[in-house]
């Protein structure tokens, strides 16, 4: 989708606070409410805006551990394994990557025991050859809101 300056302003307003009314967004973007509604609908139809949600502080919910897990998969079953891993509880992100490993998984856990059980479950998957788990010590920035 090709976005112009108006689209970007509307998207920035939505990303900063998805609870803003169309009237509030129109004031921020300097356009009519009708333009805001039309542009948002188009961004939704094009898949640029895929949904609306609250930003949750996982640490305050007890998820004290974030793990970055490298996965190596055998026998050309990468997409199958990535999709299976993506459905597992605690998984936040799954990425296909270049380099020495095939995929990167980001997951959050409440305890070392939960992380240990997850790591063992990963290794029990039929085509996962090996994994390398990194535990995050300090989160400097974690924010996927960007335009």
Where along the chain do the CATH 1.10.10.10 domains lie? 5-45
- In CATH terms, the fold of domain 5-45 is Arc Repressor Mutant, subunit A (1.10.10)
Alpha helices in the chain (DSSP H): 5-16, 22-29, 33-45, 78-86, 112-124
Where along the chain do the CATH 3.30.70.920 domains lie? 58-135
Please say whether the structural domain 58-135 has been given the CATH code 3.30.70.920. Answer: yes
Rounded to two decimals, the pTM is 0.84
Cα dist. 125→44, 80, 94, 118, 131 in Å?
36, 11, 16, 11, 11
Mean pLDDT on 101-120: 97
Mean pLDDT on 82-103: 96
């Amino acid at each position: 989708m090709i976005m112009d300056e108006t689209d970007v302003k509307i998207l920035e307003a939505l990303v900063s606070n998805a609870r803003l009314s169309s009237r509030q967004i129109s004031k921020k973007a300097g356009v009519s409410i009708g333009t805001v509604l039309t542009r948002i609908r188009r961004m939704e139809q094009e898949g640029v805006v895929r949904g609306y949600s609250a930003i949750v502080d996982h640490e305050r919910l007890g998820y004290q551990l974030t793990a970055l897990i490298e996965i190596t998969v055998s026998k050309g079953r990468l997409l199958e394994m990535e999709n299976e891993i993506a459905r597992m509880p605690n998984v936040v992100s799954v990425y296909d990557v270049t380099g020495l490993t095939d995929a990167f998984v980001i997951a959050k856990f409440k305890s070392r025991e939960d992380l240990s059980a997850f790591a063992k479950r990963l290794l029990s998957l039929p085509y996962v050859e090996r994994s390398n788990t990194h535990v995050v010590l300090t989160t400097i920035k974690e924010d996927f809101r960007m335009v």
